[in-house]
Structure 1
Amino acid sequence: MEIRLLLISHASTAAMRAGRFPAADPLAPLDPRGLAEIQAARSSLPILDDATGIISPAGCARETASALGLTATVDAHLADLNYGSWHGRRLADLMTEAPQELAAWTRDPDAAPHGGESFSQLVMRTGEWLETLIERTSHTSQANEIHNVVAVTHAPVLRAAIVSVLGASPAVFPRIEIAPLSVIELRCSRRGWTWWPASR
């Protein structure tokens, strides 16, 4: 049994373009610009035939999946990084008001915003989800079958998946850039998870 997993980061949001951390409301929808970006990119995004669709609970991920024509179920493990008390705050304001905390968060993978989640914790959560995906798929797939999965989630989750699959230190987390509507491909076979160039 082999799993081919495409992870897609959701379209840009107004908060992202304004340099804000996501709002505390996870159901905040995409704005017209974000929806337009999906339509412009839709033909170039690889959506696998007969794929199982999975999405983050966030409204931006749901709307991205819907605009891509992907029928998907919600999985809480694909939720965005928990930014704690920084939800909805502007990065520029935090650089003035809490420069030491912000610096620690960008350099120390174990540091977390007050009440939030660290990069290390997100890597662990994402790694656990990947292992759970193997278990669930093994019960529904035959030995020589390729099981296609498409998951629409958040850039930090894509970064965490790469770190987890490569067995890298969470300290490399800030060195991985994931733009809106980016795609990464992971495959799982007998030798475990591997990172592949995303292809159609």
Structure 2
Amino acid sequence: MDIRLLLISHASTAAMRAGRFPADDPLDARGLAEAAAARARLSIPDGAAVFVSPAVCARDTASALGLGAAASFDEGLADMDYGLWHGRRLADLAVEAPHDLAAWTHDPDAAAHGGESFSQLVKRVGQWLDALNGALRDTLSEGVIPGNTHNVVAVTHAPVIRAAIVHALGAPPAVFPRIEIAPLSMVELRRARRGWTWWPASQ
């Protein structure tokens, strides 16, 4: 089955703007307004299968984009596990644990916080991408027609989208600091016989 996957990063949160690691924060008024404004800008196809990270900010974003009613929550799209750094300010960690923070920002295998390394995230997201075929068969009520292209929308987190790009390109996880994903940006991946490819997204 061919798949056109649109990965959308959730709207900005107060924690992001304060330089804090997330702690399952909901969208504030500013984030909700940004998501509502993005609804007209993002070219989201009608009738797409919709998957959403279980995080509150992703669910709020999906609702503001008009996708909430059709969404299936998927643990495979959950944000990176930041371990002991959940809710902590980067500025504080830069003083308390500068070497650990520096390693985490440059080494894909570093996870001094006791959570998930970026390499582990790439593996997890890659497994989600490769299992998407089966997930679609379970989700689409009218069944899957071989040879057709099926549209999928996934509302998730910037690190997850970075990991999806790395997996699709077969790139080494060490390239992750060179990929920037802004809030409410959309990345398009397509899966056909040759595997996953990265396409310019229509926004």
TM-score range, shorter-chain basis? over 0.9
Partner of 1:172: 175
User: 2 CA distance for matches of 1:53 and 1:137?
Assistant: 10
1:126-175 alpha-carbon deviations (Å, 9 max, x no partner): 00000110233367411121111000000000000000000001001111
User: 2 CA distance for matches of 1:153 and 1:20?
Assistant: 18
Q: How does 1:133-144 map to 2 (within 5 A)?
A: 133-137=132-136, 140-144=143-147
- From 186, 192, 196, the equivalent of 1:193 is 196
Q: Percent identity, aligned pairs only?
A: 71
Secondary structure, aligned partner of 2:131: helix
User: 2 CA distance for matches of 1:84 and 1:117?
Assistant: 7
- From 156, 160, 163, the equivalent of 2:163 is 160
1:35-67 alpha-carbon deviations (Å, 9 max, x no partner): 011122210112111100100000000010011
User: 2 CA distance for matches of 1:109 and 1:142?
Assistant: 39
RMSD: 1.2
- From 13, 27, 31, the equivalent of 1:30 is 27
Partner of 1:9: 9
Unaligned runs of 5+ in 2: none
Question: 1:115: how far off?
Answer: 2.1
Aligned residue pairs, count: 197
CA contact (8 A) 1:14 1:31 kept: yes
Compute the TM-score of the two structures, normalised by the length of structure 1: 0.95
Partner of 1:111: 110
Partner of 2:126: 127
User: 2 CA distance for matches of 1:33 and 1:64?
Assistant: 12
Compute the TM-score of the two structures, normalised by the length of structure 2: 0.94
User: 2 CA distance for matches of 1:149 and 1:113?
Assistant: 34
User: 2 CA distance for matches of 1:137 and 1:35?
Assistant: 29
Unaligned runs of 5+ in 1: none
User: 1 CA distance for matches of 2:52 and 2:116?
Assistant: 20
Q: How does 1:10-159 map to 2 (within 5 A)?
A: 10-23=10-23, 26=24, 28-70=25-67, 71-137=70-136, 140-159=143-162
Equivalent AA in structure 1 for residue 41 of structure 2: S
